[in-house]
Amino acid sequence: MIEEFRAFVNENNLFDRYNKVLLAVSGGIDSVVMAHLFHALELRFGILHCNFQLRGEASDGDASFVEALAGKLGCPFYTIAFSTRQYASDNGLSTQMAARNLRYNWFEEVRQREGYELIATAHHSGDDAETFFINLIRGTGLKGLQGIPLRQGNIIRPMKFASRDQISTFAEKHHIRWREDATNATTHYLRNKIRHVVLPLFKEISPSFNVKLAQTISYLDDTGEALRIIINQERSRLIRIDNNGNQYIDLGELSKMTPIGFWLFELLQPYLFNRSVISDIEQNLSGRGGQRFLSPSYEARIERGKLMLIPRSEKSSERYYLIGDEVTGIDEPLPLNFRRLNYVKESEIPGTSDLVWLDAEQISYPLILRRWQQGDKIHPLGMRGSKKISDYFIDQKFSQQQKEDTWLLCNGSDVLWIVGQRIDHRYRVTADTQRILEVKLRTGI
């Protein structure tokens, strides 16, 4: 395994023996084995450990264990204790997100202060498999099925070559001790359920499943990278600028691209058009022109064989607002409060139009708050399938003024909530929900 590690690092140019690398070591088997591999190859490294103080004496025991490991391996040791729950509460974050923010901010602080080039985390091929299935269950495109990147800025993942079984075998063979987090054994969380139930079942069906899945993810990574290069090249070729400085797509050139829906989506995605609007644009490409399609920041118009892309004005009715995961409340354009909560299974889910609960684990940030647009769709709570919001307005007998006053809270191109009306069925709280995003529309006393 030592030679596999060496070959993997060299083949992917992750670092050389002159680089100083900080290792993020929790005390678990993966990061402890990573530290032993660095030591076996006599590399220049130090060990980082965060005590999040979430598991009482067990957290303190982890910190003591990792400090002793650094002493045994003869490397510098850096540690810090965080008041994670307090930080999460103060910033309106989930405990998991709070720990992530604290961890990576501190890692970078130590890296710069102590003169290290890189930070290594112990993600392995099994993490790819679990993430693959999590995203598959939630619904995803090619990007969600690709592996965790080997490098992101100063972060590297040199253990990506190894499976969970390889790491366990190496630890047992070399009598390496580690700390076990009791929560890893429970199937209460989705990732653990996939790890302990789903993946073993596939391996029972096909003993070589882990290898085959790793190969598949590798092929998807290669496909994604090649596709990214091609898309960027075609975007540079197809998106042009006219004499007035406006961007446009030549529809004659676009018509040569197949499948046209795919290319239209990739070309328009940076302009924040959602899938529904892009679908409407595609259906009208051969029309007479004059139609107007809106994203939060751009207007698309079909004119004389061109799809014009015009920046929208900054009028309040046409603006969009980004809401980060740290936000607990806003006053403009609507008075909204946000809370992140643990879901207690016996809790009664709110049934009011101005207070909603959403499954926080299915949400990515920043959220977008914007006016509704033609083509927007939602999967109304309690209904199967999608419905155009314009049709929802008709069903609810909305006046024109009510339509114009309607705001949407969005997760990317998905509508989470027609504010003051109905949430999307896909983001509802279910028996599997662990964390809740509570959103309240303040309506006064």
CA 125/CA 148 separation, integer angstroms? 9
- Closest of 42, 38, 28, 48 to residue 126, by C-alpha: 28
Neighbour count for residue 245 (Cβ, 10 Å)? 7
Q: What is the pLDDT of residue 316?
A: 43
Domain boundaries of the chain, sorted by first residue: 2-221, 242-311, 319-441
98 contact partners, CB below 8 Å, separation of at least 6: 84, 85, 87, 88, 91
Looking up tokens 């509802």, which residue turns up? 428
Q: Which residue has the tokens 């596939």?
A: 202
Cα dihedral sign for 206, 208, 211, 212?
negative
Could you tell me if 249 and 307 are in contact, meaning their C-beta atoms sit under 8 angstroms apart?
Answer: yes
| Residue 333 φ/ψ, nearest 5 degrees | -85, -5
Q: Which pLDDT score is estimated for 187?
A: 63
Rounded Cα–Cα distance for residues 24 and 50 (Å): 8
Sheet holding 435-441, edge to edge: 329-330, 336-342, 435-441, 355-359
Q: Label residues 85-109 b or e (16+ Cβ within 10 Å = b).
A: eebbeebbbbbebbbebbbbebbee
Task: List Cα–Cα distances, 282 to 260, 266, 368, 387, in angstroms.
Answer: 8, 13, 24, 19
Residue 390's SS3 state is helix
| Residues 254 and 307 sit within 8 Å (Cβ to Cβ) | yes
Distances (CA, A) of 79 to 47, 67, 207: 8, 8, 41
What's the rounded Cα separation, in Å, for the pair 192 and 168? 17
Residue 61: per-residue pLDDT: 92
Per CATH, the homologous superfamily of domain 319-441 is Phenylalanyl-trna Synthetase, Chain B, domain 3 (3.50.40.10)
Print pLDDT tens along the chain (445 aa).
999 999 999 998 899 888 999 999 999 999 999 999 999 999 999 999 999 888 888 888 999 999 999 999 999 999 999 988 888 887 777 777 788 889 988 999 999 999 999 999 999 887 888 888 888 887 777 877 877 888 888 899 999 998 888 999 999 999 999 988 766 656 666 778 888 888 899 989 999 888 888 888 888 888 988 988 898 888 888 898 887 778 899 999 999 998 998 999 888 888 888 777 888 888 888 766 667 788 877 888 888 888 989 887 644 445 678 787 778 888 878 889 998 888 877 677 877 788 999 998 888 877 888 888 878 889 888 777 788 898 888 888 888 778 878 899 998 778 999 999 999 998 998 888 888 999 998 765 4
How far apart CA 150 and CA 125 sit, in angstroms, is: 11
| 3-state DSSP assignment of residue 78 | strand
For residue 287, the model assigns a pLDDT of 67
pLDDT score, position 290 = 64
Reported pTM? 0.56
Neighbours of 45 (CB within 10 A): 24
- The first and second tokens of residue 260, run together, are 């046209």
Whether the CB-CB separation of 48 and 22 falls below 8 Å is answered with yes
Which CATH number does 2-221 carry? 3.40.50.620
CA within 13 Å, CB half, 160: 22
Using alpha carbons, list the distances in angstroms from residue 393 to 277, 370, 421, 439, 443: 17, 17, 10, 22, 21
- The encoded tokens of residue 252 equal 């004659």
